[in-house]
């Protein structure tokens, strides 16, 4: 019996998005879509999160923050890039300050393109990510100590 898929807590980071995708991410939490039906809770804390939702094309100013936030999420974790900017940099990809897609900074598991991505496709992307999350957990059990830091390592 696994509980990971029944209780995915998400954290959302806006890596220089125009706020279009961010509004759609939050729309998924409203009564109309109500993702809490699936146990999804929007935590503001990377240490409590399982699913990392990132919007926007990363730039020089926030790529360190993005990496830091990612590293604080305990294993197993999945990253969902939401919107065409997070997927590839979108129309901003050739700007001098833009990294061009968050997969240049952190590993991405699911891409949800769109400008802005629709709430339905965001939910679809998160559900796809849950399958990957479950695979990662199984891999973690089969190879104990591989990815996991033992307690106290972070001190």
Partner 1 sequence: MLGAPAHCRYPPRGGGPVISGPYLSVINAILYILLAPAAGGLIAGIDRKVTARMQGRVGPPVLQPFYDVGKLFEKEDVVVTTTQNFYVLSYLVFMVVAGALFFSGGDMLLVIFAFTLSHIFLVLGAYSSFSPYSHVGAERELIQIIAYEPMIIFTAVGMYMVTKSFFVSSIVSSGIPIILYLPGVFIGYLMVLTIKLRKSPFDLSTSHHAHQEIVKGVTTDFSGPNLGKIEIAHWFEYVFLIGVVYLFFGWNPLLAIAAIIIAYFLEILIDNTIARVKWELTLRSAWLVAGTLGIVNLGVLYYLKAVVP
Write out the residues near partner 1 by the rule CB under 8 A. Answer: 1-4, 6-7, 31, 34, 36-39, 41-45, 47-48, 50, 74-76, 137, 140, 147-152, 154-155
Rounded least distance, CB 91 to partner 1, Å = 29
Instruction: Give the count of alpha carbons within 13 A of 59, CB side only.
Output: 12
CA-to-CA separations, 102 to 5, 24, 71, 77, 105, in angstroms, rounded: 24, 19, 14, 16, 5
**Which residue, 45 or 61, has its beta carbon nearer to partner 1?**
45
Rounded least distance, CB 140 to partner 1, Å = 8
Structure tokens at 136: 């990662």
Q: Are 137 and 2 in contact (CB under 8 A)?
A: yes
Rounded least distance, CB 9 to partner 1, Å = 8
**Which residue, 96 or 145, has its beta carbon nearer to partner 1?**
145
β-sheet bridge partners, residue 153: none
**Which residue, 30 or 97, has its beta carbon nearer to partner 1?**
30
Quickly list DSSP for 102-118.
Answer: GGGTS--SEEE--TTPP
**Which residue, 37 or 96, has its beta carbon nearer to partner 1?**
37
Which distant-in-sequence residues (6+ apart) come within 8 Å of 116 by Cβ?
20, 21, 23, 24, 83
Rounded least distance, CB 66 to partner 1, Å = 17
């Amino acid at each position: 019996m696994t509980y990971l898929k029944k209780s995915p807590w998400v954290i959302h980071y806006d890596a220089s998005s125009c706020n279009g995708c961010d509004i759609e991410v939050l729309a998924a939490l409203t009564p109309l879509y109500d993702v809490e039906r699936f146990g999804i809770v929007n935590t503001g804390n990377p240490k409590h999160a399982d699913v990392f939702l990132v919007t926007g094309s990363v730039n020089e100013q926030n790529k360190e923050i993005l990496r830091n936030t990612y590293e604080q999420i305990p294993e197993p974790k999945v990253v969902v890039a939401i919107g065409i900017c997070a997927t590839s940099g979108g129309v901003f990809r050739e700007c001098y300050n833009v990294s061009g897609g968050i997969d240049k900074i952190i590993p991405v598991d699911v891409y949800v393109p769109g400008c802005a991505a629709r709430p339905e496709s965001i939910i679809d992307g998160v559900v796809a990510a849950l399958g990957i999350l479950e695979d990662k957990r199984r891999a973690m059990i089969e190879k104990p100590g591989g990815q996991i830091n033992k307690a106290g390592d972070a001190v």
